[in-house]
Amino acid sequence: MQETVHVIVPAGKTASDIARIRARGAAMFRRLSSCLNALAVAFSCLLPGQAKAADRLPALGADSSQVSVSGLSAGAFMAVQYAVAYSKSVIGAGIIAGGPYYCAAGNPLNIGVCMGQSMWGGPNPAFMAQFAHDFGESGAIDPLVNLQREKIYVFSGNDDMVVRQPAVDATVEFFRQLGVPAANLTYVNTVAAGHAFISPLQSTTNACSANASPYVSHCKVGNEPYDQAGALLAFIYEGIRPPAGSLTGSPTDSLTGSLITFDQTEFAGTFAAMSSEGIAYVPQYCSQNPGCRIHVVFHGCLQSAEQVRKNTTYDNWADQNRIVVVYPQVSGSSAPSGCWDWYGYTGADYAWKTGQQLQAVRAMVNRLTSRR
């Protein structure tokens, strides 16, 4: 398109002078237009809806009877909530530094007690069990009899200064009171660990006793690196195969599956305080065949899904055992301290099947179990 450039010409200039001035003006216009176009492209990357859209979580025909969950801290409280509220469709849970179901009873003033930080001691598991019974009878959560077949792995580090052991002791007692058999309940509480997922990946994690970001620590048990992801998955899914790759070198080198950054907005309501994106690891077998298992990993406060995924070995175990791993995440800005809701900031029904965050994650699981 021909540009018309209007240039103010001083009096006394010749025709050639005017031509040169016009040429310089046209060149300046073209340079300015080029710069403005470049700026427009740059700013378009920052505007909502202009960035590359995340993938859609795929329908894989996964096995709806082989769903399990795990999490740290607020993610552990969330794992408990999911395992209890949807007990009919969950076969196991890994609870790392988390208190019992409905511990805060919708009141933020109870947070200190639920974390074992109160001078009055830890939470009362009998109260929590009674709440669960009442909710089960009302239909707000699945019937509690389903818990008796779940496999429950619980972990509390001796040096955890965030969620102290009395709170986690109450979680174990809560499940006992609801009839989980001793053979289905394991409690690891003798490791000198801080507040963290425990990983064998020494190069990317904190010392064992750390209570600091990224809340993934390296510990040894019996002179061997403790692989917590493997321990809890092996307890939930008996007879699983060894993980893919070297767990001390580059653990992702031998993975054959696909990493998907998926759109969470189609699952979460406006006030669920969920991030726009979640992550899923799909083993190659599961991308081509139905019937795979599903494991959902809930991150902790001040922690992202990617920090958990890249610093632990969930994907390695999943790759060899036909497990699709889902890493949902809440928003670091709208969720308090980036925590999952275990005390009611999304609504009074946060611990029921109608809770916004629970429903969102349940919808993700339903998508994965849907036919291709």
Tell me if residue 160 is catalytic: yes
Tell me if residue 349 is catalytic: no
Q: What is the DSSP letter of 13?
A: -
Q: What gap in Å lies between CA 124 and CA 92, rounded to an integer? A: 23
Closest of 207, 230, 222 to residue 313, by C-alpha: 230
- One of 87, 89, 156, 195 is an active-site residue; which one? 195
Hey, which bits of 181-264 come out as E strands? 185-188, 197-198, 206-207, 216-218, 220-221, 224-225, 258-263
Tokens of 313: 């070995």
- One of 142, 160, 169, 227 is an active-site residue; which one? 160
The residue with tokens 């899904």 is 305
The alpha-carbon radius of gyration of the chain (Å, integer) is 26
Cβ 85 vs Cβ 141: under 8 Å: yes
- CA distances to 261, 262, 263, 264 from 53, in Å: 10, 9, 8, 11
CA dihedral for 279, 283, 284, 287, sign (positive or negative): negative
Q: What gap in Å lies between CA 16 and CA 261, rounded to an integer? A: 61
- One of 73, 87, 209, 304 is an active-site residue; which one? 73
Q: What gap in Å lies between CA 332 and CA 322, rounded to an integer? A: 31
One-letter amino acid identity for 259?
L
Tokens of 249: 């070198």
Tell me phi and psi for residue 139, to 5 degrees. Answer: 90, 5
Tell me phi and psi for residue 134, to 5 degrees. Answer: -60, -45
How many CA atoms lie within 13 Å of 73's alpha carbon, on the beta-carbon side?
A: 26
Tell me if residue 331 is catalytic: no
Q: What gap in Å lies between CA 244 and CA 255, rounded to an integer? A: 6
Instruction: Just list the catalytic residues.
Output: 73, 160, 195
